[in-house]
Amino acid sequence: MTIHPVILWTDALIFALLAAVLVLVWLIRRQEHLRAPWRVVAQRPMAMGAALVLGVFVSIGLLDSLHYRAQLPDSPADAPQYSVEVLSVFDALVDGLRARQEKTYSAPLAMQLYAKEFVQRDGVTVRDSSRLQHGGAHLAQADARLPDITRRALAGAAQGALASLLVFAGLAVWQARRMQTSPGAWLAAWRGGRLDWPARTVVLMVATMLMLGGVMMQLAAGYHVFGTDKVGQDVLYISLKSIRTGLVIGTLTTLVTLPLAIGFGIAAGYFRGWVDDVIQYVYTVLNSIPGVLLIAAAVLIVQVYIESNPDIFDTAAARADIRLLALCLIMGVTSWTGLARLLRGESLKLRTLDYVEAARAFGVSNARIISRHIFPNVFHLVLIAIVLDFSGLVLAEAVLSYIGVGVDPAMYSWGNMINGARLELAREPVVWWQLGAAFAFMFTLVLAANLFADGVRDAFDPRLGGRR
Amino acid sequence: MKPLLEVRDLVTDIGPARVVDGVSFHVAAGETYALLGESGCGKSMTALSLMRLLPDGGRVSSGAVELGGENVLGLPERDMRRVRGGQMAMIFQEPMLALNPVIKVGEQIGEALALHQNLGGQAAREAARGLLDAVGVPDAVRRLDTYPFELSGGLRQRVMIAMALAGQPRLLIADEPTTALDVTIQAQVLDVLRRLKTERQMGMLLITHDLGVVAENADRVGVMYAGELVEEGGRDTFFASPQHPYSRMLFDALPRPGDGGRLTTIPGQVPPLDGSLVGCRFARRCPFAIARCRDESPDWQTINDQRVRCHLAGTLPARIEREVTAQTTARAAKALLQVEGLKVHFPIRRGLIQRTVGHVRAVDDVALSIQAGRTLALVGESGCGKTTVGKALLRLVEPTAGSIVLGGETITAKNASTLRRQAQMVFQDPFSSLNPRMRVADILLEGMDALGVGAAGERRDAVAQLLNRVGLPDDAGGRYPHAFSGGQRQRIAIARALAVSPRLVICDEPTSALDVSVQAQILNLLKDLQDSLGLAYLFITHNLSVVDYLAHDVAVMYLGRIVEHGAAVAVLRAPRHPYTLALVSAVPRIEAQTGPGIIRLAGDQPSPLNPPDGCHFNPRCPYASEVCRQTYPGQTDLGNGHWVRCHWVAGQV
């Protein structure tokens, strides 16, 4: 089966961002003063644990950004026709989750639908909840469910433990060879916490994640782990698909924010005078308009544009994607002011320092002073702002989608999940798993991002430099 | 008699570093004990250990501190609070940081009074007024209701002292109490401390790096090096014959009046305190070190009433007084820099439309001239506008009026690049004058690139030459500034200025942030560079002993104007202007004071926003007459290019 790769706008930007980050990493590795604080980050157990969790989220997001359209099975080979449904590599990996659709709501790990309905049983119409098509379909009896779940969970945990043991053994051998000791000696050092990186936390974290993953995989093969939603889709699948949306919002928005904040902030602080006045008026005005108003207006404009130009967007995914991009843009435009204000203050301070005066005494041009003296010395602030803002943006998306001005309703996102769960919370018995799953995923991502940001800030903030 | 404070084998650790290692000394009531040493030797940490106010991660590992027979280290924190302030009090270096900026002075003193003397309301106010009177704050009643920012540096430091006295302490710890102050103010504050000590029979622990301050104030002296006390003795014997090589080198590193020779420097720097230190800690920098010094830590040896930790104590050659090499005589040459009528006025804008309501006359009609290969020192207290003169010369601050002629060419905004190739600047603080994110080679290349000096291919070689010239290793170019010590950073800053081969270098207090031994290295370097490259220096400083050592001519500045100008020997040996007289006599000297008595100036320098009518100096001048209050004095020529602006001198001539 051939495929037709699809590159959505956000995909292109995400991979451009990834490339930029890789280039940055390469540059940082070469500069001692940039590498040193990162080494401090790498020595903090909390930051490293959080980084691992973030790593898993980012991998899922990246896999989910490689889009394609599959060839229709009955299309001719010489003029292939492709499905209108845009899939991603991640979809292919978890094909089972995507395909196993039920009729409507079902509770986590259930084998029946949540709602009761009239069913024909042995010629009699009774009111009962019918069996799911996929969830627990392999079981003959209802009372076999609990033992089956326990067995699967244990098997998954065992598989995870085995995998983590293998990984750990590999790590021990590799590290021992690198440090030119025996694996036994390395293990002793590991147990005593005498290594120069938080190896115990990392190993423990990897083991926990592998075991959790093992349990999930085992259970998901036979059940809907987080239940199903209104149209019977697996909530676990939706939650995982939402990761990409969250990451896109968190990262691409910063991409819009940074040039504005850095450019305006440094220009205002460095040049002062009328430049400072103009920039300050602009961001004071921008700050006094409610952000939600601007965002709603922008999203509606894009919506109208999409609807009046249907021929530009060949798939529903492309339409949702352009709306997501618009959301990132407008959120970026409304959120650069804080960082710009910070950078303005810092530049005001830096421009009076002796090394800037010395450069001016040589007649060095303003552009060069900014790029060589000011920017490198505010870069740590930019970095801290990026990681701190990330979690705020992920949460903002949820709020915006909830009030209906966020991403496209057809798009998988935690905000849409919460929005969808809103009405069902009022129903009896309550449908809680959609909200719960969105909450759990968002909580994990934001907590990891915040812990990581804490580590980054502690390492980069010169005011905290002395005490650790 | 039992001493007031007894410290025995005090050991303090901060993390892995042992910052104080086995220090023992005692202070009697009514006595001043001075702890002397370079920065990083553990002086302040000793004081903080006594107060039990160590920074995070610091702890007193062993030893005993007894204050009036009470073991301070054994007290629970509850009782310690009573001891702090009540039994021993501390004054800090930077009075602005030690006072709360949003609470009125009277309330801050009242807080201490309420805590230690249970005074409140009117009684506290009376007591606070009494304290301010005691520390010599004029107009004490009104000052009670001012905020710290309304007071000048000297007054703030006095308020700090008043607060410290509120608990009627028996021991006063003064940690570099005057380092941040100008000499005339320093003299006032030290007077107050001396008087209070005698009046109240307090013990005083004076921490300083300034031998002059020690000579004038201490009864006994302890020299610290790398966390250890290395020498101890009475002031007179210590100054007559310092025994430890380190103490001797501290003396030799000081520039002496009338001396034009090379200064003795102490090579290397204080060793890091976190490693294991074997043998004598000074051995690596000591010119007398023998094999034993490197293996065995010396024990205390007593010579007369001095104690010293040195294997060679008593056997060292007698101290040789350095030959006083006279300054090279004046060379008649054409002026390299000629400045006439330089004015820098900063507008003060107020209101909605930023209307100019007045001017701060930072520099007001200054004329200077420097000949090639010579040094002009510009001397004055902080805030007199001397740094602004330097910056205006380089057009870092746009001058309001005046002409600058450099090498025969009048400098305007258009040919500023000519100026930048011929004149460069070395800044005060080597920690803020080098970009921490740039490699040393890039820092040195910046000027050459910007001004297009030399062919691009040759610049790398030029960098190596420059590093060599200022005495830095060849591989320094690839490293970042943080890898260097303060003295080395200042060398980098000098190399940066030299990169474009200027003929004039403006040095803005280049040694005031450095230790004495490092200062000697930098001064030697500047002198060598002047000899080999024929540089002219404009040396901006408040340190008169440095001026004495380096300068050929001196200009004394007060409130934006030059009040006395002449050859260095003439101005410093026979000053004529009352301000210069006071400035020269206020410098604490190691040698016994000779000649006319010390002149103490009252009050502070007025604000340049609103200078007094007539002669600017008249409110502080002991010789002021009616004419001084009305007209600004003209120039009175005293011959040999020595002139002053003073009615009093004019009347004498």
Backbone angles phi, psi at B305, to 5 degrees: -105, 15
Residues of A within 8 A of B500 (CB-CB) are: 362
Please state the domain count of chain A. 3
A1 touches chain B (CB under 8 A): no
Of these ranges, B113-122, B142-151, B470-479, B499-508, the one predicted with the greatest mean pLDDT is: B499-508
- On whether residue B473 sits in a domain, the answer given is yes
- On whether residue B219 sits in a domain, the answer given is no
CB atoms under 10 Å from CB of B70, counted, come to: 12
- On whether residue B376 sits in a domain, the answer given is yes
Cα A129 from Cα A255, distance rounded (Å):
49
**B234-265 burial: b if 16+ Cβ within 10 Å, else e:** ebebbbeebbbbbbbbbbbbbbbbebbbebbb
Q: Residue B99 is part of which domain span?
A: 95-168
Tens digits of residue pLDDT in B213-261: 898 889 999 999 988 899 999 988 888 888 888 988 888 888 876 666 7
A103 touches chain B (CB under 8 A): no
The answer to whether B66 and B28 have CB atoms below 8 angstroms apart is no
Residues of B within 8 A of A377 (CB-CB) are: 435-437
ipTM score: 0.81
- On whether residue B180 sits in a domain, the answer given is no
| Residue B561, SS3 per DSSP | strand
Decide if pLDDT at A392 tops 90: no
Q: Output the pLDDT for position B322.
A: 58
Nearest chain A Cα distance for residue B86, angstroms: 30
The answer to whether A446 and A391 have CB atoms below 8 angstroms apart is yes
Apex B92 CA angle, B89 and B97, nearest 5: 120
Same-domain status, A194 and A294: no
**Of the partner residues B436, B437, B496, the one whose CB lies closest to the CB of residue A358:** B496
| Among B168, B199, B232, residue at a domain's last position | B168
Tens digits of residue pLDDT in A138-157: 888 888 889 999 999 999 99
Residues of B within 8 A of A365 (CB-CB) are: 450
**Of the partner residues A354, A362, A467, the one whose CB lies closest to the CB of residue B433:** A354
Helix, strand, coil: what percent of chain B each, to 5?
Answer: 35, 25, 40
Please state the rounded mean pLDDT for residues B545-556: 88
Same-domain status, A204 and A329: no
| Residue B378, SS3 per DSSP | strand
Helices B578-586 and B183-200 sit at what angle, rounded to 10 degrees? 50
Q: Output the pLDDT for position A268.
A: 95
What is the spatial order of strands in the sheet that B58-67 belongs to?
B17-27, B5-14, B58-67, B70-71
What would you report as the CA-atom Rg of chain B, rounded to the nearest whole angstrom?
26
The answer to whether B563 and B645 have CB atoms below 8 angstroms apart is yes
B482 touches chain A (CB under 8 A): yes
Closest CA to B511 of B493, B523, B527: B523
Q: Output the pLDDT for position A467.
A: 39
| Chain A residue with Cα closest to B14 | A467
Q: Output the pLDDT for position B259.
A: 65
| Enclosing H/E stretch for B65 | strand B58-67
| Enclosing H/E stretch for B112 | helix B105-117
CB contact residues (below 8 A), chain B span 160-179, against chain A:
none
B57 touches chain A (CB under 8 A): yes
Same-domain status, A109 and A246: no
Tens digits of residue pLDDT in B46-56: 999 999 888 88
| Residue A86, SS3 per DSSP | strand
DSSP A312: T
Cα A451 from Cα A28, distance rounded (Å):
22
- The token duo for A432 is 């809680």
- On whether residue A49 sits in a domain, the answer given is no
* Contact assignment for B446 to A360 by CB distance below 8 Å: no
Contacts with A290 (C-beta within 8 Å, 6 or more apart), sequence order: none
- On whether residue A319 sits in a domain, the answer given is yes
Task: Mean pLDDT check: name the lowest of A121-125, A283-287, B309-313, B546-550.
Answer: A121-125
For the residues of B382-448, what is the DSSP string, one character each?
TTSSHHHHHHHHTTSS--SEEEEEETTEE--STTHHHHHHHEEEE-S-TTTSS-TTS-HHHHHHHHH
The C-alpha torsion from A19 through A21 and A26 to A31, rounded to 10°, is 150
Same-domain status, A192 and A241: no
Pick from A33, A350, A354 the residue to mutate for testing the B interface (most B CBs within 10 Å).
A354
A275 CB-contact burial (10 Å; exposed 0-12 / middle 13-18 / buried 19+): middle
| Enclosing H/E stretch for A262 | helix A235-271
The answer to whether B552 and B388 have CB atoms below 8 angstroms apart is no
Residues of A within 8 A of B57 (CB-CB) are: 467
CATH (domain of B620): 3.40.50.300
Same-domain status, A113 and A171: no
Average pLDDT, chain A: 88
CB atoms under 10 Å from CB of B585, counted, come to: 20
pLDDT band at A468 (very low <50, low <70, confident <90, very high): very low
Share of chain B above pLDDT 70, in %: 95
B292 touches chain A (CB under 8 A): no
The answer to whether B90 and B164 have CB atoms below 8 angstroms apart is yes
Same-domain status, A257 and A210: no
Average pLDDT, chain B: 86
Helix, strand, coil: what percent of chain A each, to 5?
Answer: 70, 5, 25
- On whether residue A434 sits in a domain, the answer given is yes
Q: Residue A127 is part of which domain span?
A: 105-136+223-232
A28 touches chain B (CB under 8 A): no
CB atoms under 10 Å from CB of B639, counted, come to: 9
Same-domain status, A403 and A424: yes
Q: Output the pLDDT for position A199.
A: 87
Please state the rounded mean pLDDT for residues A343-362: 92
| Chain A residue with Cα closest to B15 | A467
Cα B637 from Cα B234, distance rounded (Å):
47
The answer to whether B558 and B615 have CB atoms below 8 angstroms apart is no
Apex A48 CA angle, A43 and A51, nearest 5: 145
Nearest chain B Cα distance for residue A48, angstroms: 24
Same-domain status, A186 and A290: no
Cα B32 from Cα B190, distance rounded (Å):
12
Cα A119 from Cα A124, distance rounded (Å):
8
- On whether residue B515 sits in a domain, the answer given is yes
- On whether residue A452 sits in a domain, the answer given is yes
CATH (domain of A328): 1.10.3720.10
B46 touches chain A (CB under 8 A): no
* Contact assignment for A372 to B446 by CB distance below 8 Å: yes
Cα A407 from Cα A410, distance rounded (Å):
8
Query: Cα A99 vs. chain centroid, distance in angstroms?
Result: 24
| Chain A residue with Cα closest to B497 | A358
Q: Output the pLDDT for position A465.
A: 47
The answer to whether A222 and A136 have CB atoms below 8 angstroms apart is yes
Cα B105 from Cα A414, distance rounded (Å):
57
**A225-246 burial: b if 16+ Cβ within 10 Å, else e:** bbbbbeebbbbbbbbbbbbbbb
Decide if pLDDT at A257 tops 50: yes
- On whether residue A150 sits in a domain, the answer given is yes
| Chain A residue with Cα closest to B481 | A33
Query: Cα B168 vs. chain centroid, distance in angstroms?
Result: 30
pLDDT band at A205 (very low <50, low <70, confident <90, very high): very high
Closest CA to A61 of A440, A452, A441: A441
Please state the rounded mean pLDDT for residues A201-224: 92
| Chain A residue with Cα closest to B390 | A361
**3-state per-residue secondary structure call for B291-354:** HHHHHCCCCEEEECCEEEECCCCCCCCCCCCCCCCCCCCCCCCCEEEEEEEEEEEEEEEECCCC
pLDDT band at B57 (very low <50, low <70, confident <90, very high): confident
The C-alpha torsion from B360 through B362 and B366 to B372, rounded to 10°, is -150
Cα A364 from Cα B243, distance rounded (Å):
52
| Chain A residue with Cα closest to B392 | A361
Torsion sign, CA atoms A48, A467, A465, A449: positive
Same-domain status, A128 and A156: no
Cα A110 from Cα A98, distance rounded (Å):
17
- On whether residue A162 sits in a domain, the answer given is yes
* Contact assignment for B57 to A467 by CB distance below 8 Å: yes
| Among B153, B168, B183, residue at a domain's last position | B168
Same-domain status, A430 and A361: yes
Query: Cα A302 vs. chain centroid, distance in angstroms?
Result: 24
B275 CB-contact burial (10 Å; exposed 0-12 / middle 13-18 / buried 19+): exposed
Tens digits of residue pLDDT in B598-653: 677 777 778 777 888 889 898 888 888 888 888 899 888 888 889 999 999 888 87
- On whether residue B74 sits in a domain, the answer given is no
**B357-393 burial: b if 16+ Cβ within 10 Å, else e:** eebbbbbbebbbbbbbbbbbbbbbbebbbbbbbbbbb
- On whether residue A441 sits in a domain, the answer given is yes
B136: region left, alpha or beta (phi > 0 left; psi from -120 to 50 alpha): left
A362 touches chain B (CB under 8 A): yes
CB atoms under 10 Å from CB of A24, counted, come to: 12
Q: Output the pLDDT for position A463.
A: 57
Same-domain status, A304 and A451: yes
**Of the partner residues B417, B432, B497, the one whose CB lies closest to the CB of residue A355:** B432
Residues of A within 8 A of B451 (CB-CB) are: 362-363
Same-domain status, A175 and A279: no
Pick from A30, A349, A356, A362 the residue to mutate for testing the B interface (most B CBs within 10 Å).
A362
Please state the domain count of chain B. 2
Please state the rounded mean pLDDT for residues A226-242: 90
Tens digits of residue pLDDT in B375-426: 999 998 887 888 899 999 988 888 888 888 888 888 887 788 888 888 999 9
The answer to whether B617 and B563 have CB atoms below 8 angstroms apart is yes
Q: Output the pLDDT for position A466.
A: 41
Cα A433 from Cα A440, distance rounded (Å):
10
Tens digits of residue pLDDT in A333-350: 888 999 999 999 999 999
Residues of A within 8 A of B425 (CB-CB) are: 357-358, 361
* Contact assignment for A363 to B428 by CB distance below 8 Å: no
- On whether residue B345 sits in a domain, the answer given is yes
Residues of B within 8 A of A27 (CB-CB) are: none
Residues of A within 8 A of B496 (CB-CB) are: 358
| Among B111, B134, B168, residue at a domain's last position | B168
- On whether residue B54 sits in a domain, the answer given is no
